[in-house]
A = this chain, B = another copy of it.
Amino acid sequence: MTVRVGVIGAGIMGADHANTLHRMVSGAEVSLIADIDPGRAQDVAGKIPGSRATGDALELIDDDAVDAVLIASHDSTHRELALAAVRAGKPVLCEKPLAPTLAECVEVVATELAAAARVPFISLGFMRRFDPGYVEMKQALGRGAIGTPLLTHSISRGVGSAPGATSESSVTGSAIHEFDVLPWLLDSSITEVSWHAPKPTAAAGGFQDPQLILLRTADGALSTVEVFLNARYGYDIRCEVVGESGTVALTEPAKMITHGHRARSVGYAAGWRPRFADAYRIELQAWIDAVGAGTRSPLASALDGLVANAVAEAVIASMHRSGTVVAVEVPTI
């Protein structure tokens, strides 16, 4: 009953997932690793006994030694590979985004639907749904700990943006996590958005960073989202939900406190991997458990990925229209 996983993409994300599956997930085995750079695939496979490397992702998907597929390759490949996995009838965990454009997302979701599997094939890698802090908040909301939610405040700060980052990629690559996790938390879809520009940091070198986004959900709640890729001081994710009788918020996680140099301090993670290591591990375990049992995946679905993309398109439209309020339009399928 061990699930043999083929991992596509041997970059930081793919190597991390392969390693986590191999070392910390029960019931999983990494059997095959693909990368367009076969040497990079081999580097990862070389550290995972029993796994092989290939340069051909489509070959991996069809390999008999692969029960399930994990897509962590370049965003531009997600659509094609997800479709191939659906055609092969294999469960697939696709890193966000499902596809670069909304139209492509629609194609993938429609294809999956047509394949008419008992359980959906595709899971989306929105790992925050498995972060213990977010999970605890959702449970608190569910038991009415703060009454009806009225507004939320989210902050996503990072140390530095990747080369080639743009004002738009801040939305599709980073803010998109908020577009998935906030509706999931509030159990209500995002209906309209607006985008606002603080003073840009010189460190961004030209694109708009930080950004402020307002989101309205169907329940009437309003959410503020700050995304700041070049905040420099650390990787800092915050979320507070304000309800009628109180609020719940993520703590800034830390295991150790240091007293030194006239200060009491706790360190920040340098990036998303240490911050969300638990979330990724728990997400992968949940996926493997569902694949192994043939049950519905508790991860975000392809449709969730499509919806997040629709919100991102609306936010970018607002960006291009001086911050006007833009309604989110989710295509019918």
Residues of A at under 8 Å CB distance from B? 1, 21-26, 28, 49-50, 132-133, 136-137, 140, 145-146, 148-151, 153, 196-203, 210, 212, 214, 219-222, 224, 226, 228, 231-234, 236, 242, 244-268, 270, 285, 289, 323, 325
Q: Given A210-B151, A222-B212, A228-B242 in contact, is the A259-B247 Cβ separation under 8 Å?
A: yes
Cβ–Cβ < 8 Å partners of A246 in chain B: 231-233, 258-261
Nearest opposing residue in chain B for A232, CB measure = B245
CA–CA, A136 and B253, complex, Å: 13
Residues of B within 8 A of A219 (CB): 199
Q: Within the assembled complex, what's the spacing in Å between the Cα atoms of A212 and B140?
A: 24
**Whole-angstrom distance between the alpha carbons of A11 and B226 in the complex?**
41
Q: A28-B26, A151-B212, A220-B199 are in contact. Are A260 and B245 (CB under 8 A)?
A: yes
**Contact at A263–B267, with CB atoms within 8 Å?**
yes
Q: Which residues of B contact A200 (CB under 8 A)?
A: 150
Whether B248 lies near A233 (C-beta < 8 A) is no
Contacts of A249 in B (CB 8 A): 256-257, 259
Instruction: Report A328 CB to chain B, min CB distance, Å.
Output: 17
CB distance from A226 to the nearest CB of B (A): 7
| Chain B: CB-nearest residue to A282 | B24
The distance in angstroms between the C-alpha atoms of A24 and B20, with both chains bound, is 11
Chain B residues in 8 Å Cβ range of A262: 233-234, 267-268, 270
Q: Is the pair B242, A210 in contact by a Cβ cutoff of 8 Å? A: yes
* Docked-complex contact B198 and A256, CB < 8 angstroms: no
A259 contacts across to B, CB distance below 8 A: 233-234, 236, 246-249, 268
* Inter-subunit contact B256/A210 (CB<8 Å): no
A106 to chain B minimum Cβ distance, whole angstroms, is 31
A-B contact sample (17 more), CB < 8 A, given A212-B224, A233-B263, A254-B264 = A26-B28, A132-B255, A148-B202, A150-B200, A150-B210, A151-B226, A201-B244, A224-B224, A228-B242, A231-B242, A233-B245, A247-B260, A249-B257, A251-B257, A263-B263, A264-B266, A264-B268
